[in-house]
Structures are given as C-alpha cells and as structure tokens.
Amino acid sequence: MHHQDLSPWRHEHVFDAQRPAAERSTRAVMWITLAAMLAEIVAGWWFNSMALLADGWHMSSHAMALGVSAYAYAAARRLSGDPRFAFGTWKIEVLGGFASAIFLLGVAALMVIGSAERLLSPQPIQYRDAIAVAVLGLLVNAACAVILGRVHHGHVHEQGPQHGHVHHHNGHPDLNLKSAYLHVLADAATSVLAIAALAGGWVFGWAWLDPLTGIVGAVLVAMWAHGLLRQTGTVLLDREMDHPVVDEIRSAVETPGTEHGGTRVADLHAWRVGQRTYACALTVVTHDTTLTAAQVREWLSVHEEIVHATIEIHVCAAGE
C-alpha cells in the first residue's frame, strides 16, 4: 500500500475576470441603496410621511445585506495570499451569500408580520404618497438590477461549454453575486406588487389588497431565500457526493476485468474548492503491481475541474 498527495494545491483562488467586476458592481449597488434609504428617511421625517419612513427602514435591511456581499468579496481578495486558507478564500464569498439569504428570510418574516397586522387592524392609507414611494423604490431597484444583472448574466454565460475539455460542469453561479442580485429583485418585485395593490385600493377601495400582496411577496422572497440557502449550504457543508464529478472520477479510475490487473475505487470523497473546481481523496484497490499515483492522476487529468487529488493505492496480494 502506498499513499501520495500528487497535486500540491495551486492557489486557485486567483480571481477570474468577472470577480473584480462583481465586487465593483455590488459595492456600487450598496451605495445607491444607502443613498436612497437616507433620502427616504430624511424626506419621511421632513414631510411627516410614514410611508417614506417605513420604506426607508425596509431598504436598510437590503443595504446591510448588500454590504455583507461587498465585504465578502473584499475579504476574499485581501486574504487570497494567506497560506492558512488551505484551499483558498472562495468560500468566504459563499458564506456572504449564505448570510444574505438569512437576511432575505428576515425581510420575508417582517413583511408577513407587518401585513398580518394591517389585515387584523386596518389603517388609513395615503395612496398618493405610498404609490410615489413604491415607484421611487422600483426605479432605484431597476437601476441596481441592471448594474448587477449585466455582471451576473455575463458570469453565467462565461461558464458555458469550453472546447478541448472532456467534461465541464457549467451552471455554477457566483453565489455571493446571486445573493445580492436576489435582494435587488426581491425589492423590485415587492415594489411592483405594492404599486398594483395600492392602485387597486385607490381605485376600488380594496384596502385589504395591500397587506394581502405583502404576504404574497413575502412567500416569493422566502422561496428565493430558501433556494439560495440550499445552494450555499451545499457548498459550505461539502455535500457534493451526488455531483456528476463523482461518477467521472470513478469512470476515469476504475478498470473492470483484467485490464490493468483490475482496479476499483474503494473510498472516495469529493468537495468543491472553487466556483468550478473540485478536490478529491480516494483509495484505489488494484491487482496491478505497477500502478502508481502518477498514473491515476494522469487518468484524472482529462477532467480539468479536478485541481487537487490525494490518492492512496492498495495493491492486493495474489489470490485476493
């Protein structure tokens, strides 16, 4: 039996071309959201408008979450050269996305509580002011969505199939950027729902429509947050053993019958260490006395997403 770690970790957390753009866009959106928040709070205090004040404080939760995303990018970049991070700092960004998803769930909960209070104890609504605030919020979020969406969609497209690569798994979004994008989309969606509900209340006198759409919006936001929690949690907890890359590793290494003396993977662990890259640790059982870890690595090299492999080879005695 022999054991060898053949691929010393190359600090793969050198940022790709899209990452600086994602950081800049997230930071810009954070400042835009903060400016709009302060403007609404000051205007609400000056004009004694509860609608402006409420929306301003609601926007503060999104500004805080966007700040978390921006900080995660900055921290990952600043610490990228720290050798204590064995597999790089990419998961700091994933952790930022996870925290933002928690913020989204908090926003959804506050929306449900506020809407339920309005349903149980209706309050007079100043429709003209409230619609103006909702339109202002929608415009701000539309601008932010354009800024983030340009980078978000460009990043996804860049992950498409690559020529000359035997197997490439696309569809791994930047989860930190996605979390910021979802915050903006959530706010925009609630603004659209609010405008429709307020218009219905103003025209038809349906005051109950506003809190009801608030609950509908909260459910939508919670669904987005749940999906983001699942994606980030999968990465943070290394729940990757159902990923196609696992079958690819087995297919590349295992040799049935008498070829190479018969080789199989007895134990395998794979986990993601970058946005589109994986590490693995595997134990190979073989009858081939000439098999080396270098040969196994050569078999794995057709899969460029596998950037680090720790390989243990157990050679069976005759008759085993």
pLDDT per position as a tens digit, 143-175: 999 999 888 665 544 444 333 333 334 456 789
90 backbone dihedrals φ, ψ, rounded to 5°: -60, -35
Nearest alpha-carbon partner for 153 in 187, 189, 181, 183: 181
Q: Which residue ranges of the chain lie beneath pLDDT 70?
A: 1-18, 47-52, 54, 152-172, 257-261, 318-320
Query: Looking at residue 155, what is its pLDDT?
Result: 54
The residue extents of the domains of the chain are: 18-236, 242-315
pLDDT for 14: 41
Within a 13 Å sphere around the CA of 229, how many CA atoms are in the beta-carbon half?
Answer: 12
Are 18-236 and 242-315 in the same CATH fold?
A: no
84-120, pLDDT tens digit by residue?
A: 998 889 999 999 999 999 988 988 898 888 888 888 8
Q: Among candidates 176, 154, 127, 207, which has minimal Cα distance to 17?
A: 154
The helix or strand, by DSSP H or E, that contains position 76, with its residue range, turns out to be: helix 50-78
Spacing of C-alpha 139 from chain mean position? 25
Which pLDDT score, from 0 to 100, does residue 164 have? 35
CA-CA distance, 245 to 169, in Å (whole number)? 8
Query: Cα-flanking dihedrals φ and ψ of residue 88, to 5°?
Result: 85, 180
pLDDT of residue 16: 54
Model pLDDT, residue 61: 82
Round to whole Å and give the CA distance between 122 and 113: 13
Token output for 280: 């693995």
| pLDDT for position 151 | 84
List Cα–Cα distances, 80 to 83, 84, 85, 177, 232, in angstroms.
8, 10, 8, 18, 20
**Predicted local confidence at residue 247, as pLDDT:** 94
Name every residue whose Cβ is closer than 8 Å to that of residue 42 and which is 6 or more positions away in sequence.
none
Cα 305 to the chain's mean position, in Å?
19
- One of 3.50.50.60, 3.40.50.300, 1.20.1510.10, 3.30.70.3400 is the CATH number of 18-236, namely 1.20.1510.10
**Type of residue found at 103:** F
For domain 242-315, say whether CATH 3.30.930.10 is its number: no
